[in-house]
Amino acid sequence: MHRALIFSSLNPIYSKLSTTTASPDSAVFPKRDGGWIGPPPVFRLQNYKRTLLPPLCSASDSVANQPKMASQDEQDPRISKISSAIRVIPNFPKPGIMFQDITTLLLDTKAFRDTIDLFVERYRGKDISVVAGIEARGFIFGPPIALAIGAKFVPMRKPNKLPGEVISEEYSLEYGTDIMEMHVGAVQAGERALIIDDLIATGGTLCAAIKLLERVGVHVVECACVIELPELKGRERLGDKPLFVLVSST
């Protein structure tokens, strides 16, 4: 079910791990001691290669000048444990959806630590002063990253949750629309920001967050998620905004 991949925002070529032999309909639940409830996934690793994390440009580099990956044949060993710690719940919240449940990742202290470390290693020292997290699972990953890199944490919330003056951005859902809000004055024009969420699907929520920050003159350096659902093409929807993910799930 999971292929653990590192995505470069510029270079979509990546090393493929073989997929698990578990059928898509069987939910596989990691137990806390590292074993499995249900049929264990079998990863055929003959073609396993390790992928280097793509470099993040610093303040002085433009996106266009980012170097291409020198080699994409190395994967950080922490990634596969992170991928394994994510639980898939079939048919939630409705039939046909294979829900990627990160709560089991939060129960695995090493994998949760590694998840945060991978983001912190990428963003530390890159002059990022804002970590924006999307309600509610972005609130779980964003603050530890913000604390570690010395940035402020800015919650991006559903309507009527933030007290005081807010700006709002409407965005599309599969059926209907929703609204995202951010506090006026939380961020200043010219600040460099990351946006964090647990997962990117269609990219609609992330796009709303990008718009809110850009409306007040913030430079969104990158969007970062634990999981990407590539078939929903969220990466394309982000346009020229780079996306960094740890795990891709199809």
Partner 1 sequence: MFAAENGLKGDPRLQAISNAIRVVPHFPKQGIMFQDITTLLLDHKAFKHTVDIFVERYKDMDISVVAGVEARGFMFGPSIALAIGAKFVPLRKPKKLPGEVIAEAYELEYGRDCLEMHVGAVEAGERAIVIDDLVATGGTLSAAIRLLERVGAQVVECGCVIGLREVKGQLRLNGKPLYILVEPREIDGC
| Interacting residues toward partner 1 by CB under 8 A | 29, 32, 87, 89, 92-93, 99, 101, 103, 106-109, 112-113, 116, 135-137, 139-141, 143-144, 146-147, 150-155, 157, 160-164, 183, 186
Q: How far is the CB of 151 from partner 1 (least distance, A)?
A: 7
Considering the complex, state which of residue 87 and residue 235 has its C-beta at the smaller distance from partner 1.
87
Active site residue 137: yes
Active site residue 174: yes
Query: What distance, in Å, lies between the first and last C-alpha atoms of the chain?
Result: 7
* Residues 213, 211: Cα–Cα separation, whole Å: 5
Considering the complex, state which of residue 101 and residue 121 has its C-beta at the smaller distance from partner 1.
101
Considering the complex, state which of residue 16 and residue 161 has its C-beta at the smaller distance from partner 1.
161
Of the candidates 182, 186, 232, the one whose C-alpha atom is nearest the C-alpha of residue 210 is: 182
CA dihedral 187, 189, 194, 200 (to 10 degrees): 90
Burial of 7 (0-12, 13-18, 19+ CB in 10 A): buried
Q: How far is the CB of 205 from partner 1 (least distance, A)?
A: 15
Catalytic residue among 137, 169, 228, 235: 137
Considering the complex, state which of residue 151 and residue 207 has its C-beta at the smaller distance from partner 1.
151
Q: How far is the CB of 13 from partner 1 (least distance, A)?
A: 33
Q: How far is the CB of 142 from partner 1 (least distance, A)?
A: 8
Of the candidates 178, 182, 185, the one whose C-alpha atom is nearest the C-alpha of residue 195 is: 182
Positions annotated as catalytic residues are 137, 174
